Amino acid sequence: MKIHSSEHEYNHPWSHVTAAVWQKYPNDQAPHVLTVDVLNREVDQEKRVLRTERLLTMRQKVPSLFSKLFSSGEPISYVYEVSEVNLDTNTFTAVSTNLTYRDIMVMDESMVYKPDPKAPLARTLVHQEAAVSVSLSRFSSYCEDAVMSRFKANAHLGRRGLEQAIDRIMLEGQLKLHTLHMA
């Protein structure tokens, strides 16, 4: 099993960053994400928690070893994500796992977004953690290294994609404000 964790800081308030998470796709940093479908959404009024289940459909570049061993046509993969937005703690947690190739590889990821305690109205901190486990005994370490390397590269692109979504939200807000002032 290989594990990777990282921290990142967004120079935007938690409310903007979490709003952008829902609007992250599509973006030019992640053309492999084809669709994001909401499977279920519920609000726990008492706990002030929004829980959402989503299915992400992606066209992935499958490692050549996988495609040779498990020829499956077009490399479409599915990821199941469960997220919770807690308004009492201002915490957004998203946990995802692969559904495709799960019998040979399990890839789990978690993202936790919180206001920066040093500047809670201006910055958001995110903790990202990923774990991959491949069950091909002879090739597991090689495959885990390859998958984790791709994950690290995609994490950087994911942050850029989220920044684009934040910029869109900010621009839309400015345009709406400008329109209200013009009226």
Instruction: Give the residue extent of every domain in the chain.
Output: 2-182
Count CB neighbours of 103 within 10 A. Answer: 8
pLDDT(109) > 70: yes
| pLDDT at position 62 | 65
| pLDDT at position 154 | 76
Q: For 53-96, how does the pLDDT look when each residue is reduced to its tens digit (9 = 90+)?
A: 999 999 977 656 656 665 556 689 999 999 999 999 999 999 99
pLDDT(115) > 70: yes
| pLDDT at position 38 | 97
Residue 157, sorted as left (phi over 0), alpha (psi -120 to 50) or beta, turns out to be alpha
pLDDT(120) > 80: yes
| pLDDT at position 83 | 98
Count CB neighbours of 111 within 10 A. Answer: 21
Confidence of residue 159 (pLDDT cuts 50, 70, 90): confident
Query: For the chain, where are the E strands, in sequence order?
Result: 2-10, 33-44, 49-59, 76-86, 91-98, 105-115, 124-134
10 Å CB burial of residue 26 (0-12, 13-18, 19+) is middle
Q: For 121-146, how does the pLDDT look when each residue is reduced to its tens digit (9 = 90+)?
A: 999 999 999 999 988 777 677 777 87
| pLDDT at position 71 | 57
pLDDT(178) > 50: no
Residues 6+ apart with CB under 8 A from 9: 116, 123, 124, 125, 126
Pick the CATH number of 2-182 from 3.40.50.970, 3.40.1010.20, 3.90.1300.10, 3.30.530.20: 3.30.530.20
| pLDDT at position 63 | 59
User: For residue 54, what are its two tokens?
Assistant: 């989503």
Confidence of residue 162 (pLDDT cuts 50, 70, 90): confident
| pLDDT at position 166 | 85
